[in-house]
Each structure stands twice: as C-alpha cells, then as structure tokens.
Chain A
C-alpha cells in the first residue's frame, strides 16, 4: 500500500528513494497536524468556554483571559437554577442506560438463541423484522411513537425512553449475537441435551457464558446509545425531575441570558463517561464489531 511496507526488503531501489521517502513522511506528518487541528477545534472551544469565569463573556479572545474552574464547581454543587437537579438527572441517565443494556442483552440473546441455535421454524420472519427496524431512521418514527406513548400512559416516564432505546438497540444485538453464535460449536448444545438439559439450562449454562465477548460489545453499544440519544428523551420527558442529562443540557438553549460557561461545563461532565467507556472498551468493541464480518 505504501512504500514503507516493502522498505525492509528492497534496499536496491532507485537512488532518490531515501529522499522521496523522507518527503512523503514529512507530508504525512503535516497532514497529521492538519487532522489533529480539524478534530480538536470544537472540543477545544468547549473547554475554553467552560473555563471562562463569567457567563456573559462576549470577548474577542481565543483563550479565556482569566481561566477558572468555577463553572465546574457550579455544576458539581448544582449552584444555578437550571442545574438544581443535575445529579438527579445524571442518575436518570444512568438508570435509563442500565435498564436499556439489561433488556437489550436479555431480549436479543433469547431471540438469537431461539432462531440461531434452536432453529425455530419461520424464525427468518423475526430476523427480517429486526433488519427492517434497523434500517428505519428512528427520527421518522418519533411522532407516532410519542402519540402512542400518550395512549399507553407513559409520557414523562423514564420507561417510555427505555422502551424506545431498547426498540432501536435490539436489532443490532440480534445480528451480532447470531453472527457470533455461529462460532460456538453446536456439539456443546447436543451433549447437554443428551444429558437431559432443558433449553433454558442450555441457554444459561452454555450459550450465555460462551457469548460473553459479544455480550460485552453489544452492552457497550446499548449503553452509549441510551446515554447519547437526544430526540426521544426530549420528546418524552418534560418535568425537571424526570429529565435526563441531554434534555437538561438543551434546556439552556431556551434561555435568553445564556450562561454559556455553565452550559459547556455541564456538556463536558455529560460527555466524560461515554468517552471514558468508549476508550476503555474500544478494543473490545472493535473486536465485537468486526468479529461478525471482517475476521470471519
């Protein structure tokens, strides 16, 4: 692909080879610097605004004149009226995330066990239903979904959000589980069946333990989906006590006297857990995401 791959083996190249290699390397470094700046500018802006000491700062500075951590302190102590339930809302987000992960893993693994391992007749209909759900944009379903939640009497209830997140996370779970399940020898199930195990025992004692890597990958995916999603949480949750963090964050935008430094500090506190989880599970997640297709 690039010249360096074959570098070690072919020293007897044209005379300008070394010069040309150095030039390409220099160009690559230059390009890398450009990418870094492009990637970091909006994040830099988030940090710079959060470090402003006053909310109404309409300065012409590129970096705050007097950087301070005050706004983070305000967020931590809920010292502003928009933030009066911040930690409660943080807990709501955690609750939604945990419930979404649990239900997605449970429902997804049961379906893929039944269809992929037990080969339920007409199971392909269920697979196709999941595939269809996967390719429908969730924002297009939001309006009827909201009306239906009213009918179910679930508006302003965290469980309506959990229902939405589970609905959009399970199709992905079903695919990953079916792909990964292929690599587990069916003979293990057979042996257990001959010893008289019931399907639920095979599921609990053989299928689930061997599926652990896929469960971790999909669990991470579901957690990040539930934590990061905005539209459904915004539509379905209205009272301050029931809000999740992204909805509370967007509330700042309604204000005329926008305390931007508090808002950016809130945004950073909200973004830290998913970023930490993303980087912690990155290897696992990438392995989980590629194992179905690329690695075979």
Chain B
C-alpha cells in the first residue's frame, strides 16, 4: 500500500521540476546487437513473473466466473445483496471520510513546535504496526461483555455499552469503518503532508501581503495546488479499500449473521468455506463495473503525471 505514496506524490503540480529534468535519459544511438539481447534478457524475469502470476490467474479467474447462471444465483442471494450495500457504504464513507480527515490532519501537522514532530511519530504508529495484531486487538477491545471499551464506559460513566460487533449490523459496519480509518489515516496524512510541504512558502507570503485570511489561503492557495493529489489519493484509496480483506475479516468477521461482509471477504468465504470457487470469483468479478472505470482513469492519471515529471 505504501506504493501509493510515490504514485500519489507524482500527481503534484510542481513547475520547478521541469527544469531539473535531464534532457536525454536514454543510451546514445540505437542499441548494438549484443546490447539489444542484454536489454531483452533483463526484462525476461519480470515478464515471466507477470505471465505466470498475474496474466494467467486473471485469465483463469475470468474463465472460472464466466457462467451467467452464477450471477443469477448471486443476485438472488440476500447475503450477496447486503454485501453489495456494505461494500458501497464501506468504500464510499470510509474513503471519503478518511481522506477529508487526512487533509485536516496534514494541516494540523504543518504547525511549528517541538511537540508536533513527536506527536507525528506517535500518530504514524497504526501504519507501522502490522494490520493483523491491531485488528485482533480492536476486535477484543470491542467485545460487549469483557472488552476494554465497555469496561471503561461502565467503570467511569456507569453506562452499559452495547455489543459493538455482535448485536447490530449497522453498529458492526460502523465499527469496521472506524477501524479502517484508524489504521490508514496516518498513511494518507503523511502523503498529503508531503504535498503541502512541496507548496512554496512564497505563495503564502504573497497571499499574506494581499491580506488573505487563513480560510482564503486554504481555498485559493492550498486547495487548488493539492486538488490533483487529493483526487489521485481518492482513486487509489478507493481501489485499495475495495480490495481490503483484513479489516472486515478480523474486526467483525462478516458477522453478526453474515451481515457485514464486503465483496473481498465474501469472495474468499464462498471459495474456501462454502467450497465453491466459481461463486467466489463471480462475487469478486461483480465489482468489475465499478473497478474498470477507476482503473482506466487512474492508469491515465498516473501515466500522464509520470510523463510530466
């Protein structure tokens, strides 16, 4: 996931970069005979990996999930219908809320002060710790009877907290979204922070001289310059979140009563617990109408920004 960092950062408008770019970056003249053979040989290992472990599985997956009857079966399944709603809510709310908070947090971390740097080190901890231990911890923490949260509510306020993940679908789904934000907010904050730091201070000084308030500085300087980065982050995060398996699997486990599955977890469940791989592939493939436009826009965006660099 960290890869998004560069991809997203590339989208930054940075006019300065054009001057630092070397005019010529390829070897002079055409490659001589043996050099051409070397160049081809250097690409062969990656092509092998791509064909054996990406192209083949993709084609095989398409073949597994090609029967129309599978989709009829899926669409009539109430669990699947709920899963689609969950996926849309999880991705729609999770991604947008997370990135909006990341935008605000990155502004906060632009402050000067000795303790802000230390706070940032603490704040990135959820990103540094592997997903599995923390999600298991959150799962245990939210246990209705013995979890830390309800113990705290009882001891301090005398409130009997609800079973956060065992009782209601909406409570459990909300918990999953909050856990997702907890885990990934630091990552996107750091990206947007890097984006903000790349904006030249002179622009703010000029706006200051012209009497711009802090709100105006954000609206007329920061946001226009961050907009492209923000958009690329949103697209990347949407795709990553769509494929996110760990959060739902470990925080709610798809429960209560299979009501909080998302497509990524339902696909794995169908394939390995229900032992019907073609049905699992079909569940995952039903996300394609949403994914293909995203992938096309994203690839175009990433490619053009790469050229600009």
Contacts and interface: CB of A to CB of B under 8 A. Distances in A.
Contact of A293 (B9, B152, B196, B205): B9
B107 interface: yes
Contacts of A137: 239-240, 242-244, 264
Interface string B116-143: 1001011111111111111011101100
Given A137-B242, A170-B49, A271 B129 contact: yes
B157 interface: no
Contact of B299 (A46, A135, A142, A148): A135
B21 A182 contact: yes
B145 interface: yes
B292 to A, nearest CB: 11
A184 B243 CA distance: 36
A65 interface: no
B61 interface: yes
A111 B46 contact: yes
A144 interface: yes
A228 B58 contact: no
Contacts of B140: 45, 49, 260, 264
Given A61-B151, A264-B137, A296-B17, A39 B125 contact: yes
Contacts of B8: 293
A264 to B, nearest CB: 7
Interface string A41-58: 111111011000000011
A210 interface: no
Interface stretch (A71-79, A84-92, A122-130): A122-130
B43 A120 contact: yes
Interface in A137-182: 137-148, 163-164, 166-167, 170-172, 174-176, 179, 181-182
A212 interface: no
Interface stretch (B31-39, B66-74, B77-85, B166-174): B31-39
B287 interface: yes
Contact of B130 (A115, A171, A274, A295): A274
B154 A60 contact: yes
Contacts of B105: 35
B130 A140 contact: no
Interface string B212-246: 00100100001000000000000010011011111
Contacts of B75: none
A42 B182 contact: yes
B27 A189 contact: yes
B130 A246 contact: yes
A110 B46 contact: yes
Given A107-B49, A199-B35, A228 B131 contact: yes
A98 interface: no
Given A43-B129, A198-B34, A62 B148 contact: yes
A227 interface: yes
A250 B281 CA distance: 24
A289 to B, nearest CB: 4
B302 to A, nearest CB: 6
B221 to A, nearest CB: 9
A3 B217 CA distance: 12
B119 A139 contact: no
Contacts of A179: 6, 10, 306, 309
B16 A296 contact: yes
B35 A118 contact: yes
Contacts of B182: 38-39, 42
A89 to B, nearest CB: 14
Contacts of A282: 124
Contact of B214 (A2, A136, A164): A2
Contacts of B204: 1, 5
A114 interface: yes
Contacts of B58: 136, 141, 144
B130 A200 contact: no
A295 B138 CA distance: 37
Given A43-B129, A140-B284, 9 more contacts: A45-B138, A120-B39, A129-B50, A130-B46, A193-B27, A250-B136, A274-B129, A275-B129, A289-B9
Q: Which 7 A-B pairs have the closest CB atoms?
A: A137-B243, A293-B9, A267-B133, A119-B26, A172-B3, A114-B42, A144-B61
14 contacts: A5-B112, A28-B108, A35-B119, A46-B133, A60-B155, A117-B27, A126-B47, A136-B243, A148-B57, A175-B3, A186-B27, A271-B134, A286-B190, A290-B6
